[in-house]
Amino acid sequence: MSLRGERAYADLSVAPPTPTAESRPWWDALRAGRLTVQTCGACGTAQGYPRTRCVRCWSAELSFVEATGRAELVTHSEVHRPGQASWGAVTPYYVGLVRLEEGATLLTHLLTDVLPEGRRPRVGDRCDVVPVQVGEWVLPFFRVAGVRPGLPVRDGHDAVESTVTDLVPPE
């Protein structure tokens, strides 16, 4: 497993994201180092990617609120053959779905450089946002902290989650 920090990505030349009218404020904030989450003024729902309407109550009263940057890992996968060849320079790496403290989920690239050697990401792991320069863009990666708030720390593995959530065969 590679243990890689954010500095490995600055020189990557990857296909750029395509901001829309709805998502441009989110990208602009990210470029300034701030993770925001689109939040409904009518019902308080936070939603994972920017839209014109609230997914819960259909209100158009939406705004971008600064997120705490703390999240919990929902699921993950180890990537060896990326869909875009340019990401091949940093394989293998993890992608994962994280649930922000605000409740919205985000599909993201995971940094595993602070995990102990051999420790893979686990469902429920605490993750913290790290704005990472990737080529000309800033992307919201999440660093897996390897601690699980609210759960007792256990040695060894969790058999249930490792069979359900590890999407790649063991090495």
Which residues of the chain form contacts with Zn ion (CB under 5 A)? 40, 42-43, 45, 54, 56-57, 59
Q: Which is nearer to Zn ion, 40 or 144 (CB)?
A: 40
Q: Which is nearer to Zn ion, 32 or 42 (CB)?
A: 42
Closest CB 62 distance from Zn ion, rounded Å: 8
Strands (E), the chain: 36-40, 46-47, 62-66, 70-79, 93-100, 105-111, 126-134, 137-144
Closest CB 38 distance from Zn ion, rounded Å: 10
Q: Which is nearer to Zn ion, 34 or 53 (CB)?
A: 53
Give the count of beta carbons closer than 10 Å to the beta carbon of residue 71: 27
Q: How far apart are CA 53 and CA 162, in angstroms?
A: 37
Cβ burial of 150 (10 Å; 0-12, 13-18, 19+) is exposed
Helices (H) and strands (E) counted in the chain, each on its own, are 2, 8
Q: Which is nearer to Zn ion, 40 or 95 (CB)?
A: 40
Q: Which is nearer to Zn ion, 46 or 115 (CB)?
A: 46
Closest CB 71 distance from Zn ion, rounded Å: 21
Closest CB 98 distance from Zn ion, rounded Å: 22
Token pair listed for 43? 């019902």
Token pair listed for 150? 């609210």
Contact call for residues 73 and 144 (beta carbons, < 8 A): yes
Closest CB 52 distance from Zn ion, rounded Å: 12
